[in-house]
Structure 1
């Protein structure tokens, strides 16, 4: 819902892009209405499913996996809608193409940054395995070696990833793109632009949540204002209000890390640290064994969660890339491939 003091001008410098659809619905055929309502209804259901049932789910790897799955499905839906609209690329307004290609390049950059961070976190698991190996050893110097592994892990996990730091300006530019060219002549174009708006809003918001989690900074978290004319407005506002509130609460407590599974590992390590540094007393042996067992279980859960999330991010990367490639191939086939098109050399620039 739009704020009273902030009408749609911030996101819609060309006027309300939904005016022609909402106030002059007769311009759309029943078939187009059905397609648009189907797309927006599905998006609304998808956003509702992302509202956590419990605050502890926020910024868990399992919730982040669901969020990335949701993005994949929404981007897959827009590909299906484009095919169903039977709107040839040759009839696309050049502004639509420019916006699509520019946004897709930025999304690919964000995916690369996320993949880089997930790889870095997985590398930290190697240090945890070394820590566990040392703690389970019977060697006389096991605590000395365990202390070294523990220090290395904490330094590695608390370090900053330069690639993640690049997400903030990209997200800022994506927020500025949350408008669409006004479509005057094409009813199919109106449906396409309104559906793409929904895709952009969900994508920008979810990516901002991931960027906040991976960077450890709430500054990357976005608060988006959307018009109440879209069918998914309430679901999105409910999701954003709940998740943003919990994330800001997590950051306000100054935790070592905001990713739940990683934080659980850190809490277990903190519990073990005095025993590693000072040695075991007569009554601490069982407590020590229990804590080492907990660390092994939590480390395995963290590793599995990171692996699954990495696959989801890779899947999202691929659907953005294949959608972009399909558009470029169609543009080449129709001979409408201007040299000034943004990101046209992405095939040679994207490195996985």
Structure 2
């Protein structure tokens, strides 16, 4: 793979291997700050604005709703794209020293984030499977060739399967303790976040602040992907993890404030007994349970043919499930596309970096 082919944050990494990685290392450095790195300043400003926009969007759309998560994942992708702008084209020295620990850290973290993407794709696929079960129940109720008690019985059975599916979603059993892939994924993200190293001093601003931007991209990816993991997990056992980040970045207060607000909302939802933190999935689950109860009551009372009141109650329950199911379905495809795009970006980054390392050390 050539540098030109890599369309990711490290696609042109050769340009970044400048003062610190140069064959012509200087024995002294000039005092640097974010103000002396205008492109980094622009990167941090954009990230701050995007994180600031997520908070009111959450109040409007609902935190951990599909629409809100789509906006959050678009920030992850945009942040990775913006890092590329920091690559100083005038400094093209290619020399990697053995003390460049950030390279190994990046390769290790990106490998783990690839695993995160795979788990997220599985989580979304399982929600899509759940959606198929919901559609089966609705199709049964729409079938004009089945009437009365038989239609109710088949639809109730399909909805019972929906209820069971959401409870066992993503559940694995290891050493006798139930732990889902999503929960393992959440733990891995928490560990990556705890081990993040914040660039300090002169080192942070070399290469137009490239390492600072890498840090911002990692933090953003870990935090927002972590929220998607939490949204897809049913009844997560651990509280929402809070990233501890350096406070001197422009975007730090925005991220800290957003973390606190999302945590408040998720804690509130969990205390109310929500089985799923993904808002649309929780709405579908509530509608499934409501419709199941209506059908079960009619079958228990053998209330056939239905009275006008009973028929109206049934129609309302069916319509509510149809609307909520449609809301969930419409958001899953673009959300899955964003996760696939992040996976592609991470792969391209790794290939570009490995290509550069190979060329520099040949």
Q: TM-score, normalised by structure 2?
A: 0.79
Query: Deviations 1:67-89 (Å, cap 9, x if unpaired)?
Result: 11100111111233235574655
Give the equivalent residue in structure 1 for 2:84: 79
Q: Is the 8 A contact 1:113 1:164 kept in 2?
A: yes
Q: Is 2:47 aligned against 1:43?
A: yes
The structure-2 alpha-carbon separation of the partners of 1:29 and 1:205, relative to structure 1 and needing over 3 Å to count, comes to closer
Q: Give the alignment of 1:1-352 within 5 angstroms.
A: 27-28=31-32, 32-53=36-57, 54=59, 57-82=62-87, 84=89, 86=91, 88=93, 90-91=95-96, 94-138=100-144, 139-140=146-147, 141-161=150-170, 162-180=180-198, 187-189=205-207, 191-215=209-233, 216-217=235-236, 219=238, 221-279=240-298, 281-282=306-307, 283-335=309-361
- Using the alignment, how far apart are the partners of 2:239 and 2:93 within structure 1? 37
> Take 1:108 and 1:309, find their aligned partners in 2: how far apart are those partners?
16
- Cα 1:292–1:41 change in 2 (3 A) is same
Relative to structure 1, the CA distance from residue 212 to residue 37 in structure 2 (aligned partners, 3 Å threshold; closer, same or farther) is: same
CA shift in 2, pair 1:190/1:181, >3 Å? farther
Kindly state the Cα deviation for residue 221 of structure 1 after the two structures are TM-superposed: 2.0
Q: CA offsets per residue over residues 175-207 of structure 1, 9 Å max, x none? A: 222214657568525812222221122122112
Relative distance call for 1:118 and 1:256 in structure 2 (3 A) is: same
The alignment's TM-score, normalised by the length of structure 1, stands at 0.81
Give me the whole-angstrom Cα distance separating, in 1, the residues matched to 2:161 and 2:122: 19
Unaligned runs of 5+ in 1: 1-24, 337-352
The CA deviation string for residues 22-54 of structure 1, in whole angstroms up to 9 with x for no partner, is: xxx962389952122111111111111111442
SS at 2:80 equivalent: helix
What is the number of equivalent residue pairs in this alignment?
Answer: 313
Question: Could you tell me how far apart the structure 2 residues matched to 1:63 and 1:186 are?
Answer: 32
Distance across 2 between alignment mates of 1:274 and 1:31: 62
Q: For 1:173 and 1:45, locate their aligned partners in 2 and report how far apart those are by CA, in whole Å.
A: 27
The structure having more radius of gyration, on CA atoms, is 2
Change (3 A) 1:86 1:65: farther
Q: Give the CA deviation at 1:61.
A: 0.6
Q: Give per-residue Cα distances to partners, 1:293-317, cap 9 Å, x unaligned.
A: 2322221221111111111111111
C-alpha deviation, 1:136, in angstroms: 1.6
CA contact (8 A) 2:121 2:339 kept: yes
Calculate the aligned-residue CA RMSD, in Å.
2.6
Q: 1:81 to 1:321 in 2, by over 3 A?
A: same
